[in-house]
Copies of this chain bind each other. A is one copy, B any other.
Amino acid sequence: MGNRLGTRTLTFSRGPRITSRYTLVGPREGKGPYALDFHEILADDSLGQKTAEKTERLMLELAIAKTLEQHDTSIDELHFLIAGDLLNQITTSCLAASTHAVPFIGIYGACSTFAEALGLGAVLLQGDFAEQVLIGTASHYQTAERQFRYPIELNVQHIRTNQVTVTGAAAAILSFADRGPRITHATFGTVVDMGLKDPHDMGSAMAPAAFRTIKEHLADTGRTLADYDIVLTGDLGRQGSKMLRLLLEREGFEGLERLQDGGSQIFGDWQPVGAGGSGAACVAVMTLGYILNALESAKAKRVLIVATGALLSALTVLQGESIPCIAHAIALEQ
Check A63 for interface membership: any CB of B closer than 8 A.
Answer: no
A residues 300-321 near B (Cβ < 8 Å) are 311-316, 319, 321
Are A98 and B128 CB-contacts (below 8 A) given A90-B108, A312-B89? no
Q: Which of A39-47, A186-194, A258-266, A283-291 contacts B (4 or more CB under 8 A)?
A: A186-194
Q: How far is the CA of A326 from the CA of B105 in the complex (A)?
A: 10
Cβ 8 A contact of A324, one of B88, B95, B101, B102: B95
Please, which residues of chain B bring their CB within 8 A of the CB of A313?
A: 87-89, 91
Please determine whether A107 and B106 come into contact, CB atoms closer than 8 angstroms. yes
Q: Which of A118-126, A165-173, A239-247 contacts B (4 or more CB under 8 A)?
A: A118-126
Q: Which of A1-9, A17-25, A154-162, A268-276 contacts B (4 or more CB under 8 A)?
A: A1-9
- Shortest C-beta distance, A283 to chain B (Å), equals 16
Please, which residues of chain B bring their CB within 8 A of the CB of A299?
A: none
Please, which residues of chain B bring their CB within 8 A of the CB of A147?
A: 315
Please, which residues of chain B bring their CB within 8 A of the CB of A106?
A: 107-109, 116, 311, 326
How many monomers of this protein are in the complex?
Answer: 2
What is the chain B residue whose CB lies nearest that of A146? B315
- Shortest C-beta distance, A238 to chain B (Å), equals 24
What is the chain B residue whose CB lies nearest that of A317? B91
- Shortest C-beta distance, A216 to chain B (Å), equals 9
- Shortest C-beta distance, A171 to chain B (Å), equals 16
Cβ 8 A contact of A130, one of B1, B97, B109, B319: B1
Q: How far is the CA of A188 from the CA of B126 in the complex (A)?
A: 18
Check A33 for interface membership: any CB of B closer than 8 A.
Answer: no
Check A127 for interface membership: any CB of B closer than 8 A.
Answer: yes
Please determine whether B91 and A312 come into contact, CB atoms closer than 8 angstroms. yes
Please, which residues of chain B bring their CB within 8 A of the CB of A91?
A: 311-313, 315-316, 321
Q: How far is the CA of A280 from the CA of B109 in the complex (A)?
A: 18
Please, which residues of chain B bring their CB within 8 A of the CB of A34?
A: none
Please determine whether A79 and B312 come into contact, CB atoms closer than 8 angstroms. no
Are A319 and B51 CB-contacts (below 8 A) given A87-B313, A103-B188, A107-B108? yes
Query: Top 4 A-B pairs ranked by shortest CB distance?
Result: A127-B127, A94-B311, A103-B188, A98-B324
Sampled A-B contacts (16; CB under 8 Å): A1-B130, A8-B103, A53-B319, A54-B319, A87-B313, A88-B89, A90-B108, A91-B315, A94-B311, A95-B311, A101-B190, A103-B188, A105-B120, A106-B116, A106-B311, A106-B326
